Amino acid sequence: MCLALLDGRAWTAGELAKHAGVAPSTASAHLTQLVRGGILADEHQGRHRYLRIADATIAGLLEDIAAHVNVVDVPRSLKESVQANALSKARTCYDHLAGKLGVEIADAMTRRGLVTDSGFALTGPGVTWLGELGIDVEAIRGGRRPLVRPCLDWTERRFHLAGASGAAFCEHVLKRKWVQKVGSGRAVKVTATGAQAFHDLLGIDIAVTKTGG
């Protein structure tokens, strides 16, 4: 249920129960404990109870935990296999990019000296690079979140870029339609425009998945 909530949306308790394949009463009991423990936050609208991850710090914690335990089920159908493959290629982790795409972006930024390879600190050229994309680093520097944070990817077992900069970059590529959401889950796909942009900006070569019409 927590991994499902990493899509950044608020889910009802019933939706989470169905997603996890457990009885509503079982889900409700666990969700209540997670809210009491500060992992989740909830709000009530009419008869519905909506739940979401408490904040970005908790989202990072959940992703880190997932990277250290076996949370991936063996796909039981072609549909589940396709969904699992899409998630491993590219997805959002709360509010930043993850999966193979996220790791490739982090690697390319490290190679180009935009972030350091010791702790993922944003370098001077990195600040300039983000500014050229239209991301105001100074505006996001003073918040509670670190400017840059390495997040251990639970499918790649390597680091992708999190923190305020990672969130701002994810928002940027979604707004520019370099990546697009796939269905209602966390999976995203790189568009033809995005593949060209990632190549020009970071030297990353990404195959664009073509879908039939």
Q: What span, in angstroms and rounded, lies between the C-alpha atoms of 211 and 213?
A: 7
At 30-80, the pLDDT tens digits run 999 999 999 999 988 888 889 999 888 888 788 778 777 665 554 454 454
Angle at 184 between CA 75 and CA 107, to 5 degrees: 75
User: In whole angstroms, what is the distance from residue 203 CA to residue 62 CA?
Assistant: 31
Residue 145 has what DSSP assignment? S
The encoded tokens of residue 7 equal: 């899509």
The full length of the chain comes to 213
Q: Collect all residues with Cβ–Cβ distance below 8 Å to 93 and sequence separation of at least 6.
A: 6, 59, 63, 102, 151, 153, 160, 162, 186
pTM of the predicted model over 0.75: no
Q: Which domains, and CATH codes, for the chain?
A: 2-54 (1.10.10.10), 60-202 (no CATH)
CB 148 within 8 A of CB 163: yes
* pLDDT for the residue 211: 46
99 torsion bin: left (phi>0), alpha (psi -120 to 50), beta (else):
left
111-123: pLDDT as tens digits: 999 998 766 789 9
CA atoms of 13 and 174, how far apart (whole Å) = 28
Average pLDDT along the chain: 84
List, for residues 87-130, the tens digit of each pLDDT value.
778 888 888 898 899 999 999 999 999 998 766 789 999 999 99
